[in-house]
Every structure is written in structure tokens, then in C-alpha cells.
Amino acid sequence: MAFQKSPDGGWGWVIVLVSFFTQFLCYGSPLAVGVLYIEWLDLFGEGKGKTALVGSLASGVGLLASPVCSLCVSSFGARPVTIFSGFMVAGGLMLSSFAPNIYFLLFSYGIVVGLGCGLLYTATVTVTCQYFDSRRGLALGLISTGSSVGLFIYAALQRVLIEFYGLDGCLLIVGALALNILACGSLMRPLQVSNCTLPEKTAPENVPDRYCMYNEKEKNLEENIKILDKSYSHEEKCKSALASGDCGQENPLHKIPTTMMHAKEPEPYKKKVAKQTYFCKQLAKRKWQLYKNYCDETVSLFKNKVFSALFIAILLFDIGGFPPSLLMEDVARSSNVKEEEFVMPLISIIGIMTAVGKLLLGILADFKWINTLYLYVVTLIVTGLALCAIPFAKSYVTLAILSGILGFLTGNWSIFPYVTTKTVGIDRLGHAYGILMFFAGLGNSLGPPIVGWFYDWTQTYDTAFYFSGACVLLGGFTLLLAALPCWDTCDRKPPKQTPTTFLYKVASNV
């Protein structure tokens, strides 16, 4: 099955527009959950750690389930997955308005909405990549800003809706707005399948495998049929030994067709059994080989010191860097900042600066004289320093400045695929990126509850943000040490031993 060539325009720009609004509608409320977080604290009276788990699950579950989301999109297509996920997000938000306790919210808002957002993110990225090739970076950059703009608008919108309609009415209205995802999904027209498919022989990489499979199949079929013939002949001998002597006096003319009938009768059955047996064996071998190759490739990825440092960095970054977008409003209230001083919600500042950071950092990554890996390390280190400075901010202005800095640096998500490609290469990007996104989701799920539990223990956010800043700084310096050029010079010395290893392999095979 071959798809049409990516048009790099045309209907593709409609795909970009609807993907932008899809991410805007699905991620607006989960990313701006800090406004709801304060209301849930007052409503249910639970600890900050347990209440923060609701918002962290909404952002982390989709990343944790990224392999399942990719499988769904590849199996059913972007349009059906988008429509189904739109119902999930809208239904989860509306169910949350009837939540009697925090445990119901963990399911309705944390798991249902979070999983729906993960499916929608995978669907929008996949369909955009299908429609764009040479302009793919621009298209992905445009749709990724949808979540940041959603954070900016939903932070103020949810606050206004809570003032006029209460928390329950706010969630119902936001859930109704999420139903517009269905209209966006209906416009995600898949690329048509090309009528002129290439013949199988034109793929040279498949020829040796098919040739070996063909020979192996003939050999196995013959062996299986011989086994069935032996069992069948043994059965006939047993029957003839028990038969009466009249059988031996039969007319030879009548005996020949009966023996031919018995010989021809089981032939289709024998071939069917042999083919099914061979198919089961080959399927088991293929599945085992795929599993073995996946494990071997995973092990080889972690042998790369930079990749190992990268997964540590992304895990620690999400543990420490994600909580401000969820807890900054409560930080301001804990610092006795008056509501009259709020010119703009702090979460809205984080959202708009995240969009700016994604665009500017993405542009910087395209310059050849900038090392993208070192640029990512700089964003981590500055983020850690800004987190450590939050306990010293006691006014709205200083908190707003720190929120803007943290939002801008959180835009390093736009250069993370560049960093992954530079580390493992384009061939293993999909595998490596899936592993890293899993750890990113784990960090998103753990970060806010850990900060909330620190507050429950110490009754202050100071220790919590010192811990968050230390985590991000540790991840940044770990990646910096692994990426130093001196390690490359050490790795370039051993290639002289390659011929010896090759000769050893040949000798062992002989």
C-alpha cells in the first residue's frame, strides 16, 4: 500500500489549522489546571500532593501511553482516533463537574482526559507529517503552539467561568467547547492510496528474505507431509491387519480405485495441516525475532552515554520543571500576593511565553553555528536557577518575571526532537523518542505531587522548589558532562581492533 506524495500545501494547511485548534481545545484546560487546582483544594480539603496528582495525571498519562496511542493511530487512522478522543476529552471534563471526591477526579480528569489528549496529540502530529515533507518543521511548529495558546486563554477563561457559573458550570462549559474537536477531526481527510503500487520485486531488501522463506517453506511442507503420510500409512496397516481375509481376495480392478481414493482423500487435509503448522512456526519465529531486535536496539541505545544522560535529563526536567505551570497560582496565594495586583494570571504568562520560546528556540536550532545539544543544556541549567529563585519572589512582579522565564525555557520542547536526532540518528529516532516520551510522562506524573507533598510536610514551598531546581540542575550537568568533546576523542581510539574482531567471527563460523 503506497500513499500519495506529501503535497506540502493545499489541503495540508487545513490540516495544520484544525490540528492547531485540536491541541488548543484538548490541552487548554489540562495545562491551565492550576486555576482549577485552587478550587479543588478548597472544595475537597485534601492535601496539596494528592490534589496536584489530578493535574499531573492529565499531562502525564498521554505521554506514558504514547506507544498505545501510536498503535491506535496507525491501525485506525487519524480521523477516527480524533473523533473518538474528542468524545473522551469532552466526556471526561463533563464527568469531572459531578465529582463527589478527589478519587473520582483522578479517574475522570486525570486518566480519561489525559489519555484522550495523548491520542489527539499523536493523531495531529501523524496526519501533519503525512501532508508535509519539505515544510514539515514549520507545520509542526505551528500546531505545537496550539497548546501554548490554549494555556494562555484557558487560564483566564476558566477563572471568569468559575466567578459566573461556579466550578461545576465551568467544567461543563469547557467540556462543551471540547466537542468542537469532533468538527476538527472530520476535516482530517487522509491521503488517498495510490492506484499504481510498486511491484514487490522492486524492493531489493526484501528479495533475499523472500527467497530464503520460499526455500524454507518448501522444505518444511515436504517434511510435514511426509510425517502425515507415515502416520496415515501406519493407520492403514493397522486397519488391514484387523480386516477379514475376504479383503485379500478382492478383484484387483476394484482394489486399485479404492487405494487411489484413500491416497487422494487425505491430500488436501494434509497440505492444509502442514501449511497451518508452518505458518504458526514462522509467525512465532517472526514475533520472537521482532521482540529480540527491539530489545537489542533498546540495549544499544542505552549503551550510548549521551542518550543515557538524555533520558536522565528529561526525567529530572519534568519532575522539577513541570510543577510551576500547575502550582504557580497557589504559590502566589501562599506568598500573600493580593488578587488586586494580578494584572494577568501567572499561568497565562507561562503559556504565552512558552509559545514564544517554542518559536524562537526552534529558529535558533536551525542555525548551523549553534550546537542544539548545548542549547538544550543551557535551557536546563537556567531553568534550574530560576526554580531556585522562586522562594525569594514575594511580589507579583517578581513572580511574573520568573513565570515568563520558566515559560520561555519550557519551549525547549520544540528542539527536543532535534537533540534526539543528533544523539541517536534519524534511523532510530522513532524508537528513541518513544522511550524518552515515556520517561517524560513519568516525570510529569511525579513532579507536582512531590512538590505538593513537600508543602504538606513543611507548610512552605521553599524546600519544594529548591528540590525542583536541584533536579533540573542535576539533569543539565549530567547531560553536559556526557556531551563533552573529550568523550568523542576517547571513543575514536578503539576502531583499530575491528579487523581482529571480524577475523574472529569468521573463524568461529568456520
Q: Please answer whether residues 350 and 148 qualify as being in contact, where contact means their C-beta atoms are separated by less than 8 angstroms.
A: no
Tell whether the model's pLDDT for residue 510 goes beyond 50.
no
Residue appearing with cell numbers 514475533: 287
Query: How confident is residue 84, by pLDDT bands cut at 50, 70 and 90?
Result: very high
Q: How far apart are CA 372 and CA 367, in angstroms?
A: 9
What does pTM read for this prediction?
Answer: 0.66
In terms of pLDDT, which residue wins out, 13 or 418?
13
Q: Stretch 8-13: mean pLDDT, rounded?
A: 80
Q: Stretch 95-101: mean pLDDT, rounded?
A: 92
Nearest Cα to 388, choosing from 447, 479, 320? 320
Q: How far apart are the first and last CA of the chain?
A: 42
Give pLDDT, residue 355.
84
Look at 20-29, 245-254, 288-297, 454-463 and tell me which has the smallest mean pLDDT.
245-254
Q: How far apart are CA 449 and CA 427, in angstroms?
A: 36
Q: Provide the greatest CA pair distance for the chain.
A: 115
pLDDT in tens, 149-197: 888 899 889 989 999 999 999 999 999 999 999 999 999 988 765 554 4
> For residue 425, what is the DSSP state?
-
Q: Stretch 333-347: mean pLDDT, rounded?
A: 77
Residue appearing with cell numbers 478383484: 251
How does DSSP assign 50-115, residue by residue? Answer: HHHHHHHHHHHHHHHTHHHHHHHHHHH-HHHHHHHHHHHHHHHHHHHTT--SHHHHIIIIIIIIHH
Tell whether the model's pLDDT for residue 447 goes beyond 70.
yes
Q: Which residues contact 373 (CB under 8 A, 6 or more apart)?
A: 306, 419, 422, 423, 479, 483
Query: How confident is residue 384, by pLDDT bands cut at 50, 70 and 90?
Result: very high
Burial label for 379, CB within 10 Å (0-12, 13-18, 19+), is buried
State the cell numbers at 274.
502442514
Give pLDDT, residue 271.
65
> For residue 411, what is the DSSP state?
G
